[in-house]
């Protein structure tokens, strides 16, 4: 059985992908998230570890040497912005470092703009909030998107997994093919495994689930948000294939 690492930009569908992998018989989750390289040792055969690991060639080499298979899930970064704001404001676990600052902003629109543009705190603010800054959306995502350039990684998108059943089936089949060349020892067929996996996809059971919608940014972004996003990370949208140019 494979060793599996699920990696992502936060709020891109990590828990959704985790439900997919845990729908595979006999796969279990690691006792904790993979935060540092040493945590990779928690990933044993028949186990999956979730992570938001930054890409580096050294880390990719280490993961390869440990014979760990990486599945990377990404999402339209405009929807990541929207999801992040709602997640930070809900603050279910009561310890998100950005919540105190966002709470002081008067409107949802200001919070969205902050998540797009980021903010560098003064010395006094650093003492108050305990952090130096909130990164802009490009800095927040770019250091993890390097995994998409690694040919040994299996890339999937949130949109593929949530848009419609046909795309979802195709993505799950791609994951199955990536993890196994031969399913005989699992005593199942690809179609049977697909159905078992799909039965385990229950987004509402995820502790971070809110709406799971595609394109929420179209409702929540104003023209000011759009222009700020184009300036900060419009190039990433084009690189990721979500837009062909800046005319959106």
| Residue 207 scores a pLDDT above 90 | no
> For residues 74 and 204, which has the higher predicted lDDT (pLDDT)?
74
The residues, any chain, with a CB within 8 Å of residue 226's CB and separated by 6 or more, are 248
Looking up tokens 């909130």 gives: 134
Q: DSSP state, 187? A: T
Q: What is the β-pairing status of strands 68-74 and 154-157?
A: parallel
The residues, any chain, with a CB within 8 Å of residue 105's CB and separated by 6 or more, are 111, 114
Specify the pTM.
0.91
Whether residue 233 contacts residue 136, with contact meaning beta carbons closer than 8 Å, is answered with yes
Quick one: pLDDT band at residue 192, thresholds 50, 70, 90? confident
pLDDT tens per residue, range 21-75? 999 988 999 999 999 999 999 999 999 999 999 999 999 999 999 999 999 999 9
Q: Can you give the residue ranges of every domain in the chain?
A: 3-76+143-205, 77-141+213-239
Whether residue 151 contacts residue 68, with contact meaning beta carbons closer than 8 Å, is answered with no
d(CA 103, CA 128): 13
Structure confidence at residue 188 (pLDDT): 73
> For residues 213 and 58, which has the higher predicted lDDT (pLDDT)?
58
Whether residue 197 contacts residue 214, with contact meaning beta carbons closer than 8 Å, is answered with no
CATH of region 3-76+143-205: 3.40.50.300
Nearest Cα residue to 234 out of 118, 112, 137: 137
């Amino acid at each position: 059985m494979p060793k599996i690492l699920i990696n992502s930009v936060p709020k891109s569908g990590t828990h959704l992908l985790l439900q997919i992998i845990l729908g595979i018989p006999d796969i279990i989750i690691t006792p904790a998230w993979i935060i540092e390289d040493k945590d990779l040792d928690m990933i044993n055969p028949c186990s999956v570890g979730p992570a938001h690991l930054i890409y580096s060639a050294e880390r990719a080499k280490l993961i390869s040497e440990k014979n760990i298979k990486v599945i990377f899930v990404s999402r339209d970064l405009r929807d990541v912005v929207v999801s992040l704001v709602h997640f930070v404001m809900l603050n279910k676990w009561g310890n998100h470092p950005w919540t105190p600052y966002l709470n002081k902003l008067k409107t949802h629109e200001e919070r969205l703009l902050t998540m797009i543009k980021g903010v560098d705190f003064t010395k006094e603010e650093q003492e108050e909030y305990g952090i130096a800054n909130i990164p802009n959306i490009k800095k927040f995502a770019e250091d993890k998107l390097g995994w998409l350039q690694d040919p040994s990684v299996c890339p999937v998108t949130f949109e593929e997994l949530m848009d419609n059943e046909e795309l979802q089936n195709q993505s799950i089949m791609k994951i199955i093919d990536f993890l196994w060349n031969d399913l005989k020892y699992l005593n199942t067929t690809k179609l049977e495994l697909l159905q078992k996996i799909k039965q385990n996809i229950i987004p509402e059971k995820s502790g971070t689930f809110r709406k799971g919608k595609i394109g929420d940014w179209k409702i929540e972004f104003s023209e000011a948000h759009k222009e700020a996003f184009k300036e900060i990370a419009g190039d990433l949208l084009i690189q990721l294939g979500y837009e062909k140019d800046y005319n959106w």
